Amino acid sequence: MQAQAITHARVMRVAVPIVLANVTVPLLGAVDTAVVGQMGLPAPIGAVGIGAIILASLYWMFGFLRMGTTGLTSQALGAGNAAEVTAILLRALLIGAAAGLFFILAQWPLFAAALWLSPGSVEVETLAKAYLHIRIWGAPATIALYAVTGWLIATERTRAVLILQIWINGVNIGLDLWFVLGLGWGVEGVAIATLIAEWSGLAFGLWLCRSAFGVALAEGLARLRDAAALRTMAVVNGDIMIRSILLQISFTSFLFLGAGLGDVTLAANQVLMQFLTIAAFFLDGFAFAAEALVGQAVGARSVQSARRASLLATQWAVGAVLGLSLVYLLAGPMLIDIMTTAPNVRLEAREYLPWLVAAPLIGVWAWMLDGIFIGATLTREMRQTMLISVAVYGVALLVFLPIFGNHGLWAALMVLNITRGITMGRKWRLVEEKAAGLPIRG
């Protein structure tokens, strides 16, 4: 198999569609809210919001399927192993189907527990149950789409990911408008629209992956139960899941501890975190490019390609966050004013604006190393470094929060990302060892 050169243009071909796909994500939630908002009642808005959060939290547990599929597929692709490229997708789709079936069977106790933790009025809870019990039938499709997305990223077909995202959101929005505003189906209409969008998205996604079901399909099916490959997949996905849970706990603790500092501080932090989400949109594109290109380099046993892919993707990521941080520095007060009209929240957010300016510059290294390590499937090292980083973050919270309040909270978040970057950076040599085909010494 002739290896492609790692170029700036190639990195951008992978990264830019992911950035654009990410931009479409908040649109769907906004349209769902706006459509049910036309009903003129608060309960439907709350029901759709609570229901969507509950399902997102459940499905998020299988987000590892996207990353694990990308890392393993890109390595198989780099090694020229077409049968394994197909087998990885098939295994991931089966995991998605099994997970979705589990959620369907366990929906009653799961939703009862979730609504108990997030209590609302009787009307909101009734509507949320109706929404959840419809949407849960899309669980196999939604989780399987993680596998489809990961596989498409690994094969550098991120324009297909963008088209797929536009399709799902477009179908969902169009049906939202028809079912709710046209037919008057209310909250159930929103749920049915999403359900149809999820299953049509999976069908379209499988069509986009049709190359996996060609000449290599028979051999891929034969390799489906390969014991060594199954063990590798289990280990990789398990490590990523633990790492992701630890990271989610860290960010959730940031929000919860901010809530303990008062409503105004909580609101200010929420405003600033929206701009951090925008930075994440950009960084995702370059991190995903690193996953695909580094993974292929590891599969091809090319240390030089692994180095170059890591360097070029990181260069573009650093350039992006430099631009974003400059925008936040110069236009931050104006952006804050757009987000909120509350004078006290505006003043509070301005006080902590310097942390927002610094956050992308500090976080870019950890973000990109995550992508590089996923591509190299150094997931055990990701898990280990995250454990260390979260422990250091906890100490930073204990030291800084009582003394500096919300400034201490932001400082601890910066410590988390600095520690992640340093601990993974110290293990960079393992990427080259993996690319050289050497045993990993830890």
301 plus 172 within the same structural domain:
no
Give the pLDDT confidence of 139-152 residue by residue, as tens digits. 999 999 999 999 99
The domain tally of the chain equals: 2
186 plus 254 within the same structural domain:
no
For residue 127, give its domain range.
Answer: 8-225
Residue 231 lies in a domain: no
65 plus 156 within the same structural domain:
yes
The pair of structure tokens assigned to 347 is 């003043």
Residue 230 lies in a domain: no
Report pLDDT for 125: 84
> Which of 225, 253, 284 lies at the terminal end of a domain, its last residue?
225
Residue 1 lies in a domain: no
DSSP-assigned letter for residue 210: G
Question: CA-to-CA distance for 287 and 382, rounded, in angstroms?
Answer: 14
44 plus 22 within the same structural domain:
yes
Report pLDDT for 381: 96
How many CA atoms lie within 13 Å of 414's alpha carbon, on the beta-carbon side?
18
Report pLDDT for 442: 57
172 plus 246 within the same structural domain:
no
107 plus 219 within the same structural domain:
yes
* Predicted model pTM: 0.91
Report pLDDT for 287: 95
Q: Are 294 and 431 in contact (CB under 8 A)?
A: yes
Amino acid at 263: D
> Which of 193, 225, 257 lies at the terminal end of a domain, its last residue?
225
> Which of 192, 225, 258 lies at the terminal end of a domain, its last residue?
225
Give the pLDDT confidence of 399-429 residue by residue, as tens digits. 999 999 999 999 999 999 999 999 999 999 9
Closest CA to 147 of 223, 220, 205: 205
Q: What SS3 class is residue 187? A: helix
218 plus 304 within the same structural domain:
no
251 plus 397 within the same structural domain:
yes
Q: State the DSSP H helix or E strand holding residue 423, giving kind and residue range, or none if neither.
A: helix 406-425
209 plus 243 within the same structural domain:
no
Report pLDDT for 303: 95
Residues of the chain scoring pLDDT < 70? 1-3, 26-30, 33, 40-42, 118-120, 441-442
195 plus 244 within the same structural domain:
no
25 plus 107 within the same structural domain:
yes
Closest CA to 370 of 438, 300, 428, 308: 428
Report pLDDT for 1: 45
Cα separation values, 355 from 35, 321, 410, 440, Å: 36, 14, 7, 37
253 plus 362 within the same structural domain:
yes
Residue 305 lies in a domain: yes
Report pLDDT for 413: 95
